């Protein structure tokens, strides 16, 4: 007799229930099939196909150059791997800040061609009409406030956002607008912990923090940073769970030595 194990996919309503219960939501970025499979098997709630792929996958300084085609390629690989995790993909810079019809078309293309379950868009009231249109068409949208890297040239640096009263008030206004527009969650990036706590308490929808303290409803990290693949990026909020860079370096050095010394392949490793 075969027993089919039914795996229940994480949905937007499950995330909302988790907030109600006080169970923290776990999210990591992911850009490829193999890594996504490991993260999904380990039990991560949400996989974010972040446009940080522009930085950690492609080596660009900012997230601006990544295109919708690139993002669909990464997102479809992650979506094929995820059995339980919910998969969210970023819409890249330039795909949703203009005309509502264009934003809607980009959103539909991403959903149809990648197979992800939801989209993430950076910004507040400035893009609210476009978010409403996408949500009304049946696509779940996650907001993103605070340090929004697609606006890096407006900010000038990757420093903490909303430290001043005016920017904090605008962020709260944006958070309410996003909730009213139908967003199912909001990422809060690099803002004071106290502000993130206030916003999280004020909203019914979950907040997912990165550099926003521990009172948000969940946490997200860039997987390459938390696994220690990236070496040069070590912000205060980052906890590195592994030094994979060092481990890979050791393994590659061993391989080089084995090949050079003709130890590899040996009798049992050939046909």
- Can you give the binding site for ligand KIV, defined by CB under 6 A? 29, 48, 50-52, 90, 187, 189, 210, 220, 222
CA atoms of 34 and 53, how far apart (whole Å):
15
Between 197 and 209, name the residue whose CB sits nearer to ligand KIV.
209
Give the C-alpha distances (Å, rounded to integers) separating 194 from 77, 170, 189, 215, 242: 37, 15, 13, 8, 29
| CA quadruple 225, 119, 212, 215: dihedral, nearest 10 | -120
Q: How far is the CB of 222 from ligand KIV (least distance, A)?
A: 5
Between 44 and 101, name the residue whose CB sits nearer to ligand KIV.
44
Between 12 and 29, name the residue whose CB sits nearer to ligand KIV.
29
CA atoms of 74 and 162, how far apart (whole Å):
31
3-state secondary structure (DSSP) of residue 192:
coil
Q: How far is the CB of 266 from ligand KIV (least distance, A)?
A: 42
Q: How far is the CB of 56 from ligand KIV (least distance, A)?
A: 8
Which candidate in 95, 122, 189, 197 is catalytic? 189
Q: How far is the CB of 256 from ligand KIV (least distance, A)?
A: 33
Between 126 and 258, name the residue whose CB sits nearer to ligand KIV.
126
Phi, psi (degrees; rounded to nearest 5) at 130: -70, -40
CA nearest neighbour of 140 among 23, 266, 14: 14
In which residue are the tokens 């997230």 written? 63
State yes or no: is 189 an active-site residue.
Answer: yes
Minimal CB distance to ligand KIV: which residue? Answer: 50
Catalytic residues, by residue number, are: 189
């Amino acid at each position: 007799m075969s027993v089919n194990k039914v795996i229940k996919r994480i949905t937007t309503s499950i995330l909302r229930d988790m907030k109600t219960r006080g169970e923290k939501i776990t999210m990591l970025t992911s850009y490829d099939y193999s890594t996504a499979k490991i993260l999904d098997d380990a039990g991560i709630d949400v996989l974010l196909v972040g446009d940080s792929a522009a930085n950690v996958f492609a080596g660009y300084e900012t997230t601006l150059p990544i295109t919708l085609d690139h993002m669909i390629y990464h997102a479809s690989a992650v979506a094929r791997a995820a059995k339980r995790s919910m998969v969210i993909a970023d819409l890249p810079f330039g795909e949703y800040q203009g005309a509502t019809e264009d934003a809607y078309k980009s959103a539909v293309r991403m959903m149809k061609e990648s197979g992800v379950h939801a989209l993430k868009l950076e910004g507040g009231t400035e893009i609210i009409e476009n978010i409403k249109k996408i949500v009304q068409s049946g696509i779940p949208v996650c907001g993103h406030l605070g340090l929004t890297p697609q606006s890096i040239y407006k900010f000038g640096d990757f420093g903490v956002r909303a430290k001043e009263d005016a920017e904090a008030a605008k962020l709260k206004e944006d958070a309410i607008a996003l909730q009213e527009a139908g967003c199912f969650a909001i990422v809060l990036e690099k803002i004071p912990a106290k502000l993130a706590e206030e916003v999280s308490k004020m909203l019914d929808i979950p907040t997912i923090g990165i550099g926003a303290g521990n009172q948000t409803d969940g946490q997200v990290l860039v997987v390459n940073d938390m696994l220690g693949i990236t070496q040069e990026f070590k912000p205060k909020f980052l906890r590195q769970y592994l030094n994979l860079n060092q481990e890979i370096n050791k393994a590659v050095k061993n391989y080089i030595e084995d090949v050079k010394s003709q130890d590899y392949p040996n009798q049992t490793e050939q046909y």
